[in-house]
Amino acid sequence: MKLSEIASIIGAEFNGDDKEIISMNTLKNASADELSFIANAKYVKDMSDSKAGAIIVNEKTKEFVPSGCEALVVEDTYWQMAVLTKYFAPPVEDKDAFEAEIGEDSDIAFEAEIADGAVIGKNCIIMAGVYIGSNVVVGDNTIIYPNVVVYRDCKIGSDCIIHAGTVIGSDGFGFASNRLGQHKKIYHNGNVVIEDDVEIGANVTVDRAVFGSTLIKKGARLDNLIQVAHNCEIGEGSVFAAQSGMAGSTIVGRNNVFGAQSGIAGHLSTGDFNTFAARSGVTKTITQSGKTFAGFPLMDHKLWLKLQGVLSRLLKSK
């Protein structure tokens, strides 16, 4: 889309260079032919180094737009970003794509559906009720059990196992809200990338990224009934037990262990080789590595055990 057309859609004044914009992206990752936005003043520091061709800003942040980048000034940047995501969303299925490619010795159930543009590797097993969307890539020796859904553009590595009922690449829980309490859907135009040797249990949901990729790295293990939100990253060899979950844009280090019903809030990160006990809640970034945590609010596991002992003695004394 031309920048002038984008400005017209969101009601922004525009008198600059009418360049072609091919997609939307974050401030850090946008290129000269991409559009970005800033919805929180704490990200102003990222604007000076941004290579975006244009940025949606408000009156308070427009002065920070770098030279050579066009400013689109609106009142509610987050709302207008949500509006534009629909215009850059790809079709649900790519009807113009090439016929799906199936690798040698792969066994595809008659009841499975492989959309045009998909590429299935060698020696794969795709069972009944599976749907593989447009432009999905599946590596070699991967097993996908019945009724798994993989939305378009997602990538699954080699030697993976995905159990029944799991959904890969659905939209995240993302929307903008205005002062009237109305909600505007944010179309998630990224994808999910699952690296090699990953096993995902039954009825897991892995949401696609708004921009870029939700990433599950090599060797990770996910139990049943787990939520992985948009733009999350699960480190190599990490393990998640049943009913655990991640909020959006969270980065988990390598070889982390999350116990059953534990959770981590959005836009946080954890160090490597940490363990989080069952039902623990991570509400701040964990910079340490090789530690064990428990409880809510989160604390060192040994301290949590002492606290439980103190509480138990208090109750007995009454």
pLDDT single digits (tens) 111-169: 999 999 999 999 999 999 999 999 999 999 999 999 999 999 999 999 999 999 999 99
The residue ranges of every structural domain in the chain are 3-87, 101-302
165/178 Cα distance (integer angstroms):
35
- Give per-residue pLDDT as tens, 195-249: 999 999 999 999 999 999 999 999 999 999 999 999 999 999 999 999 999 999 9
Same fold, 3-87 and 101-302: no
Q: Which residues are catalytic?
A: 230
DSSP secondary-structure letter at 314? H
Q: Do the beta carbons of residue 74 and residue 55 sit within 8 Å?
A: no
Q: Do the beta carbons of residue 231 and residue 209 sit within 8 Å?
A: yes
* The pairing of beta strand 239-240 with beta strand 257-258: parallel
Residue 317 clears pLDDT 80, i.e. is over it: no
Neighbouring residues of 207: CB distance < 8 A, sequence distance ≥ 6: 169, 170, 171, 172, 173, 188, 192, 214, 227, 228, 229, 230, 232, 248
Record the tokens describing residue 31, joined without a space: 């290129």
Q: What is the pTM of this model?
A: 0.94
Query: Domain 101-302 is of which CATH architecture?
Result: 3 Solenoid (2.160)
pLDDT at 243: 98
244/222 Cα distance (integer angstroms):
9
138/158 Cα distance (integer angstroms):
7
Superfamily of domain 3-87: MurE/MurF, N-terminal domain (3.40.1390.10)
